[in-house]
Chains A and B, each alone.
Chain A
Amino acid sequence: MSVQIPAASPGEMAVPSAAAADSIALHGVDIAYEREGQEPLLVVENCSLSVGREEFVAIVGPSGCGKSTVLRAISGLLRPTRGKVLIHGNEVVGHPAGVGFMFQRDTLLPWCSVEENIAIGLELSGNPQKDPQATIRDLVQLLGLNGFEKSYPSALSGGMRQRVSLGRLLAYHPDVMLMDEPFGALDSLTKAVLGRELLRIWEAERRSIVFVTHDIEEAVYLADRVVVFSPRPGRIVAQHRIDIPRPREARAIRSDPRFTHICEQIWDDLKLPTH
C-alpha cells in the first residue's frame, strides 16, 4: 500500500499536493556549515519537501545525515546556503510564528516547576487566555502529569520531562510542530507510550508535524509519510506514503503486513549505496 516516489530527479521531487494547502515547503535547499580553516561542510543537499497543513511527516536517516539540520532551517535557527524555505507560502525570515520545536534532550527551565514550564509556552504563544490556569490544568491532565504540577524537572524521570516539554509545546499552540528525535533518549517502553499519546493528541487536533527519528518502526507507526535521507550530505532518497488507517494501534500495527513491508522497504532504502 505504499507509494514509492521515484528519486530520479531530486531537484523537482515533491509529493504532488496543492501548494496552497502546504504549511511547509523546501525548494532545492542546500545547507553547509562554515568551518574554520576548512571547506564548508555540506550537510544537506538539494532538499525539496512539502508538508501539508494536517500532515504528519517523519524523516528517517542515518545519524549525521542532516535531518535535524533541516528542522533547524524550517524553524529559522539557521539559514540555508541555497534554496528557499517557505512557511504558509512565505519565505522564512527570522523565527517564523506558529512554529514550535521539541528537542531530544528536554530543554525545560530547571528552576521552573512543571506548571511554570508549561506556562512559558502559553506566555510566549501571545494568545491571551481567559483562564491560563485552566489551560495549564487541562494540559497537565492531558499529559498525565497530575500530582507533579509543583515538581521541578530534577525530580522527574526522562519520560516525564519529555511529557512536560510536549506540554510546553502544545501550550505554545503552534500550527507546525518540529520534533527532533523527541523520544530518542527514552527507553523503548516509555517511547512507545509517548508515541501513542502524541498520536492521540494529534488526531484530536491535527496540525503539521515533522518528526525526525532514526527508528524506522516509530516513523512508520506515527507518520502519514516517511521521508528517507541518505548519509551526509543528506539527500532525500525515497518517500513512502503510509496508508495504514487511523487510529492506529501500537501493538496490532506491528503484525500488519503493510507495516512490515514498508519497514523492510525503508531498510532497503537506507542500505542503498547513494554515491
Chain B
Amino acid sequence: MALENTDIAARKGRVPMVAQRIILISVLLTIWELGSSLTEGEFWVSRPLLIVERLITMIQSGELLRHLTATLVEAGSGLLLAGLVGIPLGIALERFPRVAKLVEPIIMGLYGLPRVALAPLFILWVGIGLASKVLMSFSMVIFVFLMNVSEGVRSIDKDMLDLMSTMRASRSFVTRRVVLPAIVPWILTAIRIGVGLALIGAVVAELIGSNQGLGWFIEKSAGRLDTTGVFTGLIVLMAVAMLANFMIVSAERRLLRWRGNSR
C-alpha cells in the first residue's frame, strides 16, 4: 500500500508518503524531547536522546540482543506452533461440520477466557522456562488461525468446488489446488494479527516469571524506577512489531499478485 501511495504522490508532485511519515515521527520525537527537558518530566517519560544512548550501550554490551532473542524465540515459536496446529484444525473443522458444531461452544468459551489468567497455570505445568512463554503465545494466537482459516475455507466458491467434483478431482487435489491457495490471504491476515498477540503472550509470561526477555527487562527497569529502561524496552518491542508487519505486507504483495489491482 505504501508503495502505491508513493507512486501516486510522486506523479502528483507531492512529498512521498515515506518522507511524510519520517517527518511526522521526527516532529513527535522533537516535541517529546523538548517537552520532557523543558518541564523536567524526564523521570516520568524519559527523553528520546536518553533512550538512544541506552540503546547504544545495550547493543554494545550484548544485553539487547539477549533480551530481544529471548522474546523473539518465545513469540516466534508460539506463532509457528499456533499456525501448525490452527491451519489443519481450521480446515478440519470446515470439513466435518458436525464435529465443528459439537465443539464450537468449547472453542468459543476458551476464546472468551482472558488467557493472561492462564499464565500462572502454564508456569505451574511447564515451569518458568521457554515452554511457558511459548505456550502463552500459542494460546493467544491459536484462535486467530482457527477462525481465519475456517472462515477462509467457508468462503471458497461453492461452484468452484462443484466444478472440481464434476471433473472427478480427488480430495487431495482439491485441498492442494483449491483450498490451500484460497486460504493463503486468510493465513497472512492471521499472521499479521497473530504477531502482535504472540508478542503480548511472550511479554506477559515474562512479566510473571522469567530472567530474560524484553518483558522481563521492562519489568525490571520499572522496579528500579528506570523510566528510560522501560521506554527502551517498549521502543524495541514496537520496532519488532512494525518490522514484522512490514515483512508480512511484502510477502502479501508477492503471494497475492493474482488478485491484481481490483481489491
Interface of A toward B, CB cutoff 8 Å: 72, 75-77, 95, 97, 99-101, 103, 105, 107, 109-112, 120-121, 124-125, 152-155, 172, 178
In the bound complex, residues from chain B placing their C-beta under 8 Å from that of A99 are 166
Is there contact, CB below 8 Å, between B259 and A100? no
State the Cβ distance, A3 to closest chain B Cβ, in Å: 32
Q: Which of B221-242 contact A (CB under 8 A)?
A: none
Is there contact, CB below 8 Å, between B178 and A95? no
In the bound complex, residues from chain B placing their C-beta under 8 Å from that of A110 are 258-259
What separation, in Å, do the CA atoms of A46 and B93 have in the docked complex? 39
Is there contact, CB below 8 Å, between B173 and A124? yes
Q: Which listed residue (B162, B173, B182, B257) contacts A152, Cβ 8 A?
A: B257
Which A residue sits closest to B263, measured CB to CB? A154
- Range for the number of chain B residues in contact with chain A: 20 to 34
State the Cβ distance, B207 to closest chain A Cβ, in Å: 42
In the bound complex, residues from chain B placing their C-beta under 8 Å from that of A124 are 164, 167-169, 173
Interface of B toward A, CB cutoff 8 Å: 157, 159-160, 162-169, 173, 177-178, 181-182, 184, 257-260, 262
In the bound complex, residues from chain A placing their C-beta under 8 Å from that of B157 are 107
Given contacts A99-B166, A100-B166, A152-B258, 5 further A-B contacts (CB under 8 A): A101-B162, A110-B258, A120-B177, A154-B258, A154-B262
In the bound complex, residues from chain B placing their C-beta under 8 Å from that of A72 are 162
Which A residue sits closest to B181, measured CB to CB? A111
State the Cβ distance, A24 to closest chain B Cβ, in Å: 14
In the bound complex, residues from chain B placing their C-beta under 8 Å from that of A75 are 166
Q: What secondary structure prevails in chain B residues at the interface with A?
A: helix
In the bound complex, residues from chain A placing their C-beta under 8 Å from that of B163 are 101, 103, 107
Is there contact, CB below 8 Å, between A95 and B177? no
List 16 A-B pairs, Cβ < 8 Å: A95-B165, A95-B168, A99-B166, A100-B167, A101-B166, A105-B159, A107-B159, A109-B160, A111-B181, A111-B184, A121-B167, A124-B167, A124-B168, A125-B167, A154-B259, A155-B260
Is there contact, CB below 8 Å, between B167 and A172? yes
Is there contact, CB below 8 Å, between B167 and A103? no
In the bound complex, residues from chain B placing their C-beta under 8 Å from that of A172 are 167
State the Cβ distance, B152 to closest chain A Cβ, in Å: 13
State the Cβ distance, A175 to closest chain B Cβ, in Å: 13
The 10 closest A-B pairs by CB, nearest first: A154-B260, A101-B166, A124-B167, A152-B258, A107-B160, A111-B181, A111-B258, A107-B163, A75-B166, A107-B159
What separation, in Å, do the CA atoms of A17 and B181 have in the docked complex? 47
In the bound complex, residues from chain A placing their C-beta under 8 Å from that of B184 are 111
What separation, in Å, do the CA atoms of A100 and B181 have in the docked complex? 23
Is there contact, CB below 8 Å, between A109 and B159? no
Which A residue sits closest to B261, measured CB to CB? A154
In the bound complex, residues from chain B placing their C-beta under 8 Å from that of A97 are 168
What separation, in Å, do the CA atoms of A172 and B159 have in the docked complex? 17
Which B residue sits closest to A165, measured CB to CB? B163
In the bound complex, residues from chain A placing their C-beta under 8 Å from that of B167 are 100-101, 120-121, 124-125, 172
